[in-house]
C-alpha cells in the first residue's frame, strides 16, 4: 500500500554538490576560501565578511563531494545505482549545472582523450561520469549474457539551435553559413515528450566504440576563451544511450526491455559581465542565460506547484521536460568553486540546486515490447524513410536538402542493420 502511495506522490530529484579544488592561479594569489564542504553531514557552508558583517549560510544536499573527492568516489556513490535502474528499464537523466570553470565537463566527461580503457579494461582515474557509465553498462550486459542492442545520440544546443555532433563527415564539412542554416527541428513524439527529427543514432557494440564517438562529438563542441575559463563550453550538450535487452517469458514469448540514460553537460551559468563576453560572445551568453533562466523558471514553477510550467519557452527545457516533473529519474550535479571571486555565482548555483531538490518526478518503468511489434515498427519506419528518399531522388514531392537526404539514408541503413541483427539471432538454431 505504501509503495503505491509513494508512486503517486513521486520521488524527489536527487541533487549532489561538488566543489572543485583551488586552481594554481588561485593558490598563487592566496584567494580566500569562502566555501567549505562537510561530506558526512552533506552540508556546504558559505562564509563571507561584508562591510564588517560576518554572514554564514549552510545548504544541505543529497550528497556533497568536497575538493579532495575523486572521480571514482562520485561515480560509485551517486551514479552506479542510476545506471542499474536504466538497465532495469527506466529512463534516467544526469545533468551538471554550474558556473564556467567549476568542473562540469570534467565531472561528466573527465579527460575525454584519455577515457579509453587500459589493457585490462580499467579506466584512468580522471575518467568522468559518461565513460564510467558506458563501461558499467557493457560490463553488466556481458556478465548477464543477455542479447542486447545499444544506440547513442549526441547533440549540441547552441544559441537555441540543435546540431548533431555525430553527423557523418560529408554533412559536417559544409560551410559555416550552411551549418548555421541547418537546424534539427524538435517535434512532439505523441507521448508527451519530444524527439529531434533527423538526429543520427549510432548502433554500438562495445564501450570503446562509444569512447571514439564521444571523442569525435566533443571535438565538434563550441568552446571559447572567457575570463573564467580558457576552454569554456559555450553550448549545452546531451549524450543519450538507449539500451534494448531481450527477455523471454515462461511461455517462450520474446520481450524487449528498454532503458535510456541522458547525460547532459550544461553551458556555464555566469552572468555576461563576469565572463568578459563581448559582442557576438555576449549575444551567445544571452542565449545561454535565456535557456538557463527558463530552466530556473521551470524549477520554480514545479516546486511552487504553479499551473503553467514554461517548458516551451526554450529548447533546453523542452528537451529536459520528462526529466523535470515527468516519468524520468533525475540527478543534478551542481558544481562550485571555493574561491571568493566566484562568490556571487556560487551562491546563485547553491540556491538554484537547493530549490531543485523539491521537484518530484513520477518514474515509471518502460513498457516491455514484444519483439515482433518492435520489428513491425522498424519496418514501418524504413518504408517511410524509403518513400522520402525516393521522392527526393525523383523530385516527385517535397524537396529536401542534400544533408537531410544523407541523414535519411543513414537512418534507413541503421534500422536495416538492426533488423538484420534481430533476424540473424532468430535464425541461429543454437539459441532455441
- Tell me which range, 32-36, 227-231, 332-336, 422-426, is most confidently predicted by mean pLDDT: 332-336
Residue range 269-311, pLDDT digits in tens: 654 334 334 444 444 455 556 788 888 889 989 998 888 889 8
* Predicted pLDDT at 428: 58
Dihedrals φ, ψ of 271, to 5°?
A: -80, 165
Distance between CA atoms of residues 162 and 180, nearest Å: 10
Annotated binding site: 98-105
CA distances from 104 to 27, 197, 319 (A): 21, 28, 19
Q: What is 11-367's CATH number?
A: 3.40.850.10
- Indicate left, alpha or beta for 89 from its phi (over 0: left) and psi (-120 to 50: alpha): left
Residue range 219-230, pLDDT digits in tens: 777 553 333 333
pLDDT band for position 403 (50/70/90)?
low
pLDDT band for position 387 (50/70/90)?
confident
Q: Are strands 148-158 and 161-164 parallel, antiparallel or unpaired?
A: antiparallel
Whether the Cβ atoms of residue 95 and residue 323 lie closer than 8 Å to each other: yes
Residue range 8-52, pLDDT digits in tens: 578 899 999 999 998 888 888 887 888 999 999 999 999 887 666
- The mean per-residue pLDDT over the stretch 222-244 comes to 64
pLDDT at 2 over 50: no
Distance between CA atoms of residues 58 and 42, nearest Å: 10
pTM: 0.78
pLDDT at 355 over 80: yes
* Predicted pLDDT at 278: 41
pLDDT at 175 over 80: no
Better-predicted residue by pLDDT, 370 or 398 = 370
Domain ranges of the chain: 11-367, 370-427
Q: What does R_g of the chain's alpha carbons equal in angstroms?
A: 23
pLDDT at 148 over 80: yes
H/E/C letters for each residue in 287-347? Answer: HHHHHHHHHHHHHHHHHCCCCCCCHHHCHHHHHCHHHCCCCCEEEEEEEECCEHHHHHHHH
Annotated binding site for ATP: 98-105
Better-predicted residue by pLDDT, 282 or 257 = 257
pLDDT at 212 over 90: no
Amino acid at each position: 500500500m505504501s509503495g503505491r502511495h509513494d508512486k503517486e506522490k513521486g520521488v524527489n530529484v536527487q541533487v549532489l554538490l561538488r566543489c572543485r579544488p583551488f586552481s594554481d592561479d588561485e593558490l598563487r594569489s592566496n584567494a580566500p576560501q569562502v566555501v567549505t564542504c562537510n561530506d558526512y553531514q552533506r552540508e556546504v557552508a558559505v562564509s563571507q565578511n561584508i562591510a564588517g558583517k560576518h554572514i554564514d549560510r549552510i545548504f544541505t544536499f543529497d550528497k556533497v563531494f568536497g575538493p579532495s573527492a575523486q572521480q571514482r568516489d562520485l561515480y560509485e556513490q551517486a551514479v552506479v545505482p542510476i545506471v542499474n535502474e536504466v538497465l532495469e528499464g527506466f529512463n534516467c537523466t544526469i545533468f551538471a549545472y554550474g558556473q564556467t570553470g567549476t568542473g562540469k565537463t570534467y565531472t561528466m566527461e573527465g579527460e575525454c582523450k584519455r577515457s579509453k580503457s587500459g589493457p585490462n579494461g580499467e579506466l584512468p582515474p580522471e575518467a568522468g561520469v559518461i565513460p564510467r557509465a558506458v563501461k558499467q553498462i557493457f560490463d553488466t550486459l556481458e556478465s548477464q549474457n543477455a542479447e542486447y542492442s545499444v544506440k547513442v545520440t549526441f547533440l549540441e544546443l547552441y544559441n537555441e539551435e540543435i546540431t548533431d555532433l555525430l553527423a557523418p563527415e560529408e554533412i559536417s564539412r559544409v560551410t559555416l553559413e550552411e551549418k548555421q542554416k541547418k537546424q534539427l527541428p524538435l517535434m512532439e513524439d505523441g507521448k508527451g515528450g519530444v524527439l529531434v527529427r533527423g538526429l543520427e543514432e549510432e548502433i554500438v557494440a562495445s564501450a570503446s566504440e562509444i569512447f571514439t564517438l564521444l571523442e569525435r562529438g566533443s571535438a565538434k563542441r563550441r568552446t571559447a576563451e572567457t575570463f573564467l575559463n580558457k576552454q569554456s563550453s559555450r553550448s549545452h550538450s546531451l549524450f543519450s544511450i538507449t539500451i534494448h535487452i531481450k527477455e523471454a517469458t515462461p511461455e517462450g514469448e520474446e520481450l524487449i526491455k528498454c532503458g535510456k540514460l541522458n547525460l547532459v553537460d550544461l553551458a556555464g551559468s555566469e552572468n555576461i559581465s563576469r565572463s568578459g563576453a563581448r559582442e557576438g560572445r555576449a549575444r551567445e551568453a544571452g542565449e545561454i542565460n535565456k535557456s538557463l533562466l527558463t530552466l530556473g523558471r521551470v524549477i520554480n514553477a514545479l516546486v511552487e506547484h504553479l499551473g503553467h510550467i514554461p517548458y516551451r519557452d526554450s529548447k533546453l527545457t523542452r528537451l529536459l521536460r520528462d526529466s523535470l516533473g515527468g516519468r524520468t529519474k533525475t540527478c543534478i550535479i551542481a558544481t562550485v568553486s571555493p574561491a571568493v571571486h566566484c562568490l556571487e555565482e556560487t551562491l546563485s548555483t547553491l540556491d538554484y540546486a537547493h530549490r531543485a531538490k523539491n521537484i518530484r518526478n513520477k518514474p515509471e518503468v518502460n513498457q516491455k515490447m514484444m519483439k515482433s511489434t518492435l520489428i513491425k515498427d522498424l519496418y514501418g519506419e524504413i518504408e517511410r524513410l524509403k518513400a522520402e528518399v525516393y521522392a527526393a531522388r525523383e523530385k516527385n514531392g517535397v524537396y529536401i536538402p542534400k544533408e537531410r537526404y544523407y541523414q535519411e539514408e543513414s537512418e534507413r541503413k541503421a534500422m536495416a542493420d538492426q533488423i538484420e541483427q534481430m533476424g540473424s539471432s532468430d535464425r541461429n538454431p543454437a539459441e532455441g
